[in-house]
Amino acid sequence: MESSDLFSPPAPIPSAQAATEIEALRTQLNAWSHSYYVLDAPTVPDAEYDRVFKALQALEAAHPELLTADSPTQRVGGKPLPEFASVRHAVPMLSIRTETDTEPTGAQNFDARIRKELGLLESDPPVEYVAEPKFDGLAMSLRYEMGVLVQAATRGDGEYGEDVTQNIRTLRQIPLRLHGGAPPVLEVRGEVYMRLADFDALNERQRENGDKTFVNPRNAAAGAVRQLDPGIAARRPLSFFAYGLGEVTPPEQGGPVFDTHYALLQTLKKWGFPVAAQVEIAQGATELIAYHQKIGAARDGLPYDIDGVVYKLNALALQRQLGFVSREPRWAVAHKYPAQEQLTSITAIDVQVGRTGKLTPVARLAPIFVGGVTVTNATLHNLFELRRKRVRVGDTAIVRRAGDVIPEVVGIIDKPRARYVPNFRMPRACPICGSKVVREKTEMNHRCSGGLFCPAQRKEAILHFAHRRAVEVEGLGDKLVEQLVDTGVIRTLPDLYKLGFTALSALDRMADKSAQNILDALEKSKNTTLPRFLFGLGIRHVGEATAKALARHFGKLDAVMDATPEQLLEVADVGPIVALAIRTFFDQPHNREVVEQLRACGIHWEEGEPAQQAPKPLAGQTFVLTGTFPTLSRDQAKDLLEAAGAKVAGSVSKKTSYVVAGEEAGSKLDKAQALGITVLDEAGMLALLQPVDAATD
Ligand code: IVH
């Protein structure tokens, strides 16, 4: 008896107690999610959320009878569906009449119509409206019964839509359970959309994987919503804005009473829905016009696509009085902006070299007015995407320009070509400097290997070389480099060291004193170290840590420059991709020449012997530094730690071994404490380093 007791599993928590506990955890998680996803104001560290989430999962696994569809654990998952079920909307989903006149007169026309239909005289006061952005996504109806999300449906033909509940559950911005006080039946109408940043990141990911990219955020959102596999839908980042209601419990059965559309939106916020911050009350046509202009000006900076604004009569009694014509309400109108996508023809395809050496095919276009500006060039991103979209010179392209994003060719109109047009090819030599064009097997992008020599990469290369953690030329900032390169004073990196006082002081806004300071800083930078110099060369994949490892391993620059890929691979930290990048760099005669010239200008360092492995007491440990230390600068602390074999990271994660905190340490310290990571002060850190000093004594 006794021994069997020892081996029996822990007694399960009785169901009633488990139910209370589960409820508490769900409420907590829902509150945190709402702060994070809807209010955009996180209240707990991710790790704490994960911990509570796991606790809830464990409890639900032990008590499957208590699992409900509105649990935060039920947002992801579900099996792929064979097809979507059709659902009938209790209240039809209407469309809005569109005012195609993109001039302010569009708002005047609407206001005049409303005034006439309400029988108002010219002497009557202005009508009160609500003005909202017209989100460019897809309409969604969310049905809540007893406060729980039971169904999400697309608009379909307005009467019947598709049941996409499984996918919509994965949207963190949509409450699975309403925050207090909601009526027994509530249908919330709104727009599912994809934020521009999420869309760009998604397409970037697709591009890197060589997968098909999406034409625009609306298509990407629609594709995700209509994805039969909820697992895939969950990985597509969608957002939501609420803008109205469908079926609601009537007031006589205890449903809510609203006087205005604006009050309704405020209540939706209270129930847990995101409502756009740009929603405003407007009095009469004058304020509608002002709103149209204000949002039009802000459009490029908004984090999501809009295709216009919507004006709605604010008083719900007046909305009811006006009613509908066919399937459109008389009390609302959409006032459009110029389209963000247009058709035009491709006159040529050129190649541009970016600041990092990336080669981008660019379509030259017959000028086209799109997204509010005239566009003559649009990016084609890379060779593979160009091929997949089957783009050739002479084709009719769909050009998109939205937000601050560079205009792009998102596709072509598929029609037979009148004559044969050769396929575009990437040049073998950089169109700017003639260096070899390379592409790593795992990469989609072609690059110029010219590095320091390529004028397109010149500014970047100079700034990188002069960086504080490279050879350090104090005071050489981007404005100055820009001027030096644009005026042709500097063509190659070594030219930097040939600068004279006259050339410098002739520059815009350059006082004699500043010119002298730059010359002094240049002189000072000549006395450097091999790791700083190697890092400064800006070889792809060679960051500071790799530069240090190379210097330590080979001791001398010539040994690095002449190392075979096999020898390079012997260096800790250097894998095949890095080894190839180093080899390619030094195989370019231009680059070797730049190095020689820099040495000829007087740049020098102490060369060493190839290293025998020094003891590394902190190898494998990751440190994060925060705040101000009593004696060491951040850089000094970093150097000491790295010399002892530690990695120094910029942010705290589960993988962090220690956080070193000084005065005025910020959120990194909070995060370390939340994750239970050991926090040291400067003295504590120095104590850890002690064995190194002892060994060298
Ligand atoms: S109200 C009865 N407000 O525009 C009026 N619609 O044709 C119902 N839309 O696909 C719509 N932003 O999804 C309304 N702030 C907004 C909107 C909005 C976008 C979409 C809606 C529908 C279309 C209306």
CA angle 649, 652, 653 (to 5 degrees): 105
**Which distant-in-sequence residues (6+ apart) come within 8 Å of 595 by Cβ?**
537, 557, 561
Question: Given this model, what pLDDT does residue 78 score?
Answer: 63
Dihedral angle sign, alpha carbons of residues 442, 448, 450, 451: negative
- Candidate from 19-23, 44-48, 330-334, 483-487 with smallest mean pLDDT: 44-48
DSSP track, 582-595? HHHHHHSHHHHHHH
- Whether the per-residue pLDDT at 1 is higher than 80: the answer is no
Q: How far is CA 606 from CA 464, 539, 613, 643, 686, in A?
A: 22, 21, 19, 17, 27
pLDDT at 150 over 70: yes
Report the pLDDT value the prediction gives residue 615, as an integer from 0 to 100. 67
**Does position 448 have pLDDT exceeding 90, yes or no?**
yes
Do residues 207 and 381 touch, judged by C-beta distance below 8 A? yes
Mean pLDDT within 491-517: 91
Q: Which of 190, 152, 182 is nearest to 169 (CA)?
A: 152
Instruction: Determine the Cα–Cα distance for residues 135 and 92; give it in Å rounded to an integer.
Output: 20
Res 108 pLDDT > 70: yes
| 135, 188, 265, 299: residue to mutate for ligand 1 pocket, most atoms within 8 A of CB | 135
| 334 Cα to the center of ligand 1, angstroms | 8
In percent, how much of the chain has pLDDT > 70?
A: 96
> What pLDDT was estimated at residue 664?
86
Residue 616 is a catalytic residue:
no
Burial 78-105 (b: 16+ CB within 10 A, else e): beeeeebeebebeeebbebbbbeeeebe
Tell me the pLDDT band of 613, cut-offs 50, 70 and 90: low
What is the residue with the minimal CA distance to atom 14 of ligand 1?
A: 243
Q: Report how far ligand 1's centroid is from the alpha carbon of 243 (Å).
A: 8
- Give the integer Cα–Cα distance in Å for 628 and 634: 7
Atom index in ligand 1 nearest the CA of residue 276 equals 15
How far is the centre of ligand 1, averaged over its atoms, from the C-alpha of 95 (Å)?
7
Map residue 443 onto helix, strand or coil: coil
Atom 13 of ligand 1: nearest residue by CA position: 139
**Assigned token pair, 425:** 């090819």
Q: Are strands 396-400 and 341-353 parallel, antiparallel or unpaired?
A: antiparallel
Q: How confident is the model at residue 58 (pLDDT cuts 50, 70, 90)?
A: very high
Q: Residue 333 Cα, ligand 1 centroid: separation in angstroms?
A: 9
The CB density around residue 4, as the number of other CB atoms within 10 Å, is 7
* For residue 659, pLDDT beyond 90: yes
Averaged confidence pLDDT in the chain: 90
CA of 94 to the centre of ligand 1 (A): 8
Q: Are 453 and 591 in contact (CB under 8 A)?
A: yes
- pLDDT category at 247 given cuts 50, 70, 90 is very high
Q: How many angstroms separate the first and last alpha carbons of the chain?
A: 65
Name every protein residue with a CB atom under 6 angstroms from any ligand 1 atom. 94-96, 132, 134-135, 139, 191, 243-244, 310, 329, 332
Residue whose CA is closest, atom 6 of ligand 1?
134
- Using an 8 Å Cβ cutoff, are 425 and 391 in contact? no
* Structure token pair of residue 241: 């804005």
Q: Which of 191, 279, 313 to mutate for ligand 1's pocket (most ligand atoms within 8 Å of CB)?
A: 191
Which pLDDT band holds residue 694 (cuts at 50, 70, 90)? very low
State yes or no: pLDDT of 692 exceeds 50: no
Mean pLDDT to the nearest integer, 576-603 = 92
Residue 696 pLDDT level (bands cut at 50, 70, 90): very low
Ligand 1 nearest atom to the CA of residue 155, by list position:
10
Residue 452 has pLDDT above 80, yes or no: no
Percent of the chain with pLDDT over 90: 62
Question: Counting atoms of ligand 1 from 1, which one is nearest the CA of 98?
Answer: 7
The pLDDT assigned to 2 comes to: 42
Residue 643 has pLDDT above 80, yes or no: no
Task: Enumerate helices (H) and strands (E) in the chain, giving the number of each.
Answer: 25, 24
Protein residue with its CA nearest to atom 7 in ligand 1:
95
d(CA 233, CA 237): 8
Average pLDDT over residues 259-286: 97
Q: How many residues are present in the chain?
A: 697
Give me the mean pLDDT over the 54-68 stretch: 91
Best mutation site among 265, 310, 325, 335 for ligand 1, i.e. most ligand atoms within 8 A of its Cβ?
310
Ligand 1, atom 21: nearest CA belongs to which residue?
139
Give the pLDDT confidence score for residue 8 in this predicted structure.
54
What's the mean pLDDT in 88-94?
A: 93
Cβ–Cβ under 8 Å, residues 660 and 648: no
pLDDT category, 459, cuts 50, 70, 90? confident
Residue 339: band (very low, low, confident or very high) from pLDDT cuts 50, 70, 90: confident
Tell me, in angstroms, the distance from the centre of ligand 1 to residue 168's CA.
18
**Is residue 612's pLDDT more than 70?**
no
pLDDT of 3 > 60? The answer is no
Is residue 5 left, alpha or beta, with left meaning phi > 0 and alpha meaning psi from -120 to 50? Answer: alpha
pTM over 0.75: no
Tokens read off for 496: 């930097």
Tell me what pLDDT residue 691 has. Answer: 54
Contact call for residues 646 and 619 (beta carbons, < 8 A): yes
Distance, C-alpha 353 to centroid of its chain:
23
Structure confidence at residue 4 as a pLDDT band (50, 70, 90): very low
Q: Which of 89, 94, 95, 96 to mutate to test the pocket of ligand 1 (most atoms within 8 A of CB)?
A: 96
- Kindly give the number of the ligand 1 atom that is closest to the alpha carbon of 329: 2
Q: What is the pLDDT of residue 558?
A: 96
Let me know: does 132 contact 262? Beta carbons within 8 Å.
no
Q: Beta-carbon neighbour count of residue 456 at 10 Å? A: 21
Which of ligand 1's atoms lies nearest the C-alpha of 328?
2
Q: Please give the number of the atom of ligand 1 that sits closest to the Cα of 244.
A: 1
Whether the per-residue pLDDT at 496 is higher than 80: the answer is: yes
For ligand 1, the distance from its centroid to the CA atom of residue 188, given in whole angstroms, is 12
Give the separation between CA 610 and CA 549, rounded to whole angstroms.
11
Q: How far is the CA of 180 from the centre of ligand 1 (A)?
A: 27
Mean pLDDT of all residues in 347-369: 94
Query: Which residue out of 116, 134, 638, 671 is catalytically annotated?
Result: 134
Of ligand 1's listed atoms, the one at least distance from the Cα of 140 is 13
H/E run at residue 374: strand 373-379
Give the residue whose CA is nearest to atom 10 of ligand 1.
139
pLDDT greater at residue 182 or residue 364:
364
Cα–Cα distance measured from residue 593 to residue 288, given in angstroms and rounded to the nearest whole number: 64
pLDDT at res. 259: 97
Question: Is pLDDT above 60 for 594?
Answer: yes
Instruction: Check if the beta carbon of residue 587 is closer than 8 Å to that of residue 667.
Output: no
DSSP structure string for 290-310:
HHHHHHHHHGGGSSS-EEEEE
Q: Whose CA is nearest to atom 3 of ligand 1?
A: 243
pLDDT tens for each residue of 527-570: 999 999 999 999 988 999 999 999 999 999 999 999 999 899 88
